[in-house]
Structure 1
Amino acid sequence: MENSFILHMDLDTFFVSVERLRDSQLNNKPILIGGSSDRGVVAACSYEARKFGIHSAMPMKLAMQLCPEAIVIKGSHTDYTKFSMDVSEIIRENVPVFEKTSIDEFYADLTGMDRFFGCFKLASELRDKVIDNTGLPISFGLSINKTVSKVATGEAKPNNKIWIKSGTEKPFLAPLSVQKIPMIGEKTYQTLRGLGVRKVRTLQEMPKDMLVQIFGKNGAAMWEKANGIDHSPVIPYSERKSISTEQTFNKDTTDITRLKNIILAMTEHLAYQLRNENKLTACVAVKIRYSDFNTYTQQARISYTSADHILIPKVTELFEKLYDRRLLVRLVGVRFSSLVHGNYQINLFEDTGEIINLYQEMDWIKKKYGDRSLVRAKALGVNALRTFNPFKGDMRVAKVET
């Protein structure tokens, strides 16, 4: 049976690296990127800053106490998105299948390419092309699956590469901290520590059934990853993926307050869907159909996000550009496209710890009690929103379009 070759690539301290391309005087200095106010948080930090114990999502005030000489930069969504897309294009042109899991992280399936080039040679040349064409440092791990390759990339950093050959996955993982295994967060790590499990080797040697008893089905996945087993495929990346919702009115309307509230509720609903599926959008669009059946759409490129407080103002702005107060409105819709996998933390530049915690609590409530269990006050009077169920009424939600 043919060996799989799965490549994982990660742009090293991506935001910091982009800032250093813009200003070489930032090289070798502790850099913090994020909100500079007392309540701001760290979106990214350089390796020099990490030596002081600083990490992403830490309050900026605390980070500055740990490293007073650090240089704080607000960051540029636009620049980071542009560089991310440039790297995506280089990878797209050089591999048969690739998956973009965040703004700075990629997988590629090179299986079969060893017959022509040698997969490690191909991966190394791809890395060189990214560095030569963008100036950005990038590391990679190559192995038979996504888990081992991702861990290998972490061990390769900064700006290096590792090939874990088939059959050596378990000994490679064994001496590492269990925190290196994807899916093991702080809470799970503390539970494992309480069981005396600190190294992957111990996890490998534990009975799988024991982990299932403690962690449920996650225990089985944890044991498999610790033993270098991962059958998850590389999901082909497409900029055209989208999520959308529309509402056709029973009676055409010019009620601007109602229209704006519906647009707000739609945006809030779709943003939650993004976060719930660990996705981010880089393009938003608003659609209006008037009583004469003429339909108009306005869209805008944005930096990757899934945050209500970024998406709602942009959608409202597009709606106001489209809306003609002289005509009755028959239909309104909102669409988010250019979706990638990624979590909310890449959008921390202007956020506070309170905002991040608020989103986490809001999403927990919606996940437990339903996505209409918690809405903004303006959306409460929008009766039509009861049809947000994608299988009822004429409110249509397309989870993914290609």
Structure 2
Amino acid sequence: MERAILHLDLDTFFVSCERLMDRKLHNRPVLIGGTSDRGVVASCSYEARTYGIHSGMPMRMARQLCPHAIVIRGNSGTYSKFSDMVTEIISENSPLYEKSSIDEFYVDFTGMDRFFGAYKWAQELREKIIKETHLPLSFALSINKTVSKVGTGLAKPNNHKQIIQGTEKPFLAPLSVKKIPMVGDQTYKMLRNMGVEKIYTVQQMHPDLLRQVMGKNGVSLWKKAQGIDNSPVIPYHERKSISIERTFEKDTTDTVKLKSIVTAMAENLAYQLRNGNKLTACVAVRIRYTDFQTYSKQMRIPYTSLDDTLIKTTLELFETLYSRRMLVRLVGVRFSHLVQGNYQMDLFQDAPKMLSLYQAMDNIRNRYGQDAVKRAVAMGSKAIGRSNPFNGQPPIIPAHRRA
């Protein structure tokens, strides 16, 4: 049976969300991301891209390229809500879908041609999403994920495309090799050093040559260049870890401030665990110094989601890790080895009043925001709050929250 794989991508998603809330942003160059000079552009409007700005660019450079751009810090919670709206529509109208990021989806329409026609079905799904959310959306339909994703990139902005079965190879041939999803900056640089610029060149190469240069990834690259990709649409990915990092506007050695921030991070992540009915068995702390040397340390613990245990472990790791006594650029906390489940009270150590207090605090946070309640020691930190990472698929959020 002929496969029919749809790739959906919400165009300039963060910017589009902001424009729904503020019409003054329409037709203006908009940058979303860290507002300080050390910030990074998480998303930018098409108007900003005409100045050479792109995602991942330092905010300082973006401002130099477009001084009149409107810079917005962004709100991951807001973006997550809009993403959830789109997810709900897709789940109600699709036989099988995969949420690959906060703004990208794959849908398997294989077999739908017997009833309606996969391309027409995809068009109606797109129209329904746009009508109900007012978010611009592009898609491409082909026989596999790779070709569909490449097709969506060519369909943008706010349009759609179909790549008929049997035309995958000529469709890909004239495009830059960087269009293949697995080709990042380093791989692209290596291929350019080999004289490879277009996908057509990869199509003409022997797979063994790419295997010698890139290992098994070389064979995978060759197959994708031929338009071959048998990877299935996977409806759910179990999240294995959650984390928060913060890069400071100004490097610091203020240990009181650093401890306040890592405490707030651990407290917030513990709240996210309880909200998602998850437990963690491993805590890790990460520090990057002003010379960009980065160190991390982790500790295994009994499964828990309680602040007391997690904060205590986090601070212990920080104390052992912060040994160079020099300026710190970044700190981060990560909980891993996650499993589904609720915390089981230890009859010999846990007081029922303490567990009731956790429940009351979480209820306040759910109603008034994640930073509505925090420990006194964490009051010195700015808002740490992030959207719920266990609400369906985990949202992709800019790696660093800027202090």
TM over 0.5: yes
In structure 2, C-alpha distance between the alignment counterparts of 1:152 and 1:77, rounded to whole Å: 28
Q: Which residue of 2 aligns with 1:82?
A: 81
In the TM superposition, what is the alpha-carbon distance from 1:68 to its structure 2 partner? 0.7
CA contact (8 A) 1:141 1:150 kept: yes
CA contact (8 A) 1:204 1:223 kept: yes
Report the count of equivalent residues: 309
Residue deviations 1:21-54 (CA, integer Å, cap 9, x gap): 1111211111001121121111110011111111
CA contact (8 A) 1:30 1:70 kept: yes
Is 2:106 aligned against 1:123? no
Classify the secondary structure of the residue corresponding to 1:20: helix
Q: Which residue of 2 aligns with 1:53?
A: 52
Q: Which residue of 2 aligns with 1:91?
A: 90
- Specify the code of the residue in structure 1 equivalent to 2:140: G
When the two chains are superposed, the root-mean-square deviation of aligned CA atoms in Å is 3.5
In structure 1, C-alpha distance between the alignment counterparts of 2:95 and 2:308, rounded to whole Å: 49
In structure 2, C-alpha distance between the alignment counterparts of 1:70 and 1:51, rounded to whole Å: 12
Q: Which residue of 2 aligns with 1:270?
A: 335
36-45 or 109-118, larger mean C-alpha shift? 36-45
- Specify the code of the residue in structure 2 equivalent to 1:151: V
In structure 1, C-alpha distance between the alignment counterparts of 2:68 and 2:226, rounded to whole Å: 43
Residue deviations 1:166-214 (CA, integer Å, cap 9, x gap): 0000000000000000110111111111111100000101000000000
In structure 2, C-alpha distance between the alignment counterparts of 1:47 and 1:285, rounded to whole Å: 44
CA contact (8 A) 2:279 2:342 kept: no
Q: Which residue of 2 aligns with 1:21?
A: 20
Equivalences for residues 3-402 of structure 1 within 5 A: 3-237=2-236, 244-246=279-281, 247-248=301-302, 260-262=311-313, 268-270=333-335, 287=343, 289-291=345-347, 298=359, 317=374, 337-338=390-391, 340=393, 346-347=397-398, 350-351=401-402
In the TM superposition, what is the alpha-carbon distance from 1:230 to its structure 2 partner? 0.4
Classify the secondary structure of the residue corresponding to 1:124: helix
Classify the secondary structure of the residue corresponding to 1:43: strand
Classify the secondary structure of the residue corresponding to 2:165: coil
Classify the secondary structure of the residue corresponding to 1:111: coil
Percent identical among aligned pairs is: 54
Q: Which runs of 5+ in 2 are unaligned?
A: 241-275, 282-300, 318-331, 378-387
- Specify the code of the residue in structure 2 equivalent to 1:109: D
Q: Which runs of 5+ in 1 are unaligned?
A: 275-283, 303-312, 321-334, 353-402
Query: TM-score normalised to the size of structure 2?
Result: 0.69
- Specify the code of the residue in structure 1 equivalent to 2:312: N
In the TM superposition, what is the alpha-carbon distance from 1:221 to its structure 2 partner? 0.4
Q: CA 1:347–1:257 in 2, change beyond 3 Å: closer, same or farther?
A: same
Query: TM-score normalised to the size of structure 1?
Result: 0.69
In structure 1, C-alpha distance between the alignment counterparts of 2:389 and 2:11, rounded to whole Å: 28
- Specify the code of the residue in structure 2 equivalent to 1:17: S
- Specify the code of the residue in structure 2 equivalent to 1:244: L
Q: CA 1:342–1:134 in 2, change beyond 3 Å: closer, same or farther?
A: closer
- Specify the code of the residue in structure 2 equivalent to 1:180: K
In the TM superposition, what is the alpha-carbon distance from 1:262 to its structure 2 partner? 2.9
In the TM superposition, what is the alpha-carbon distance from 1:257 to its structure 2 partner? 7.1
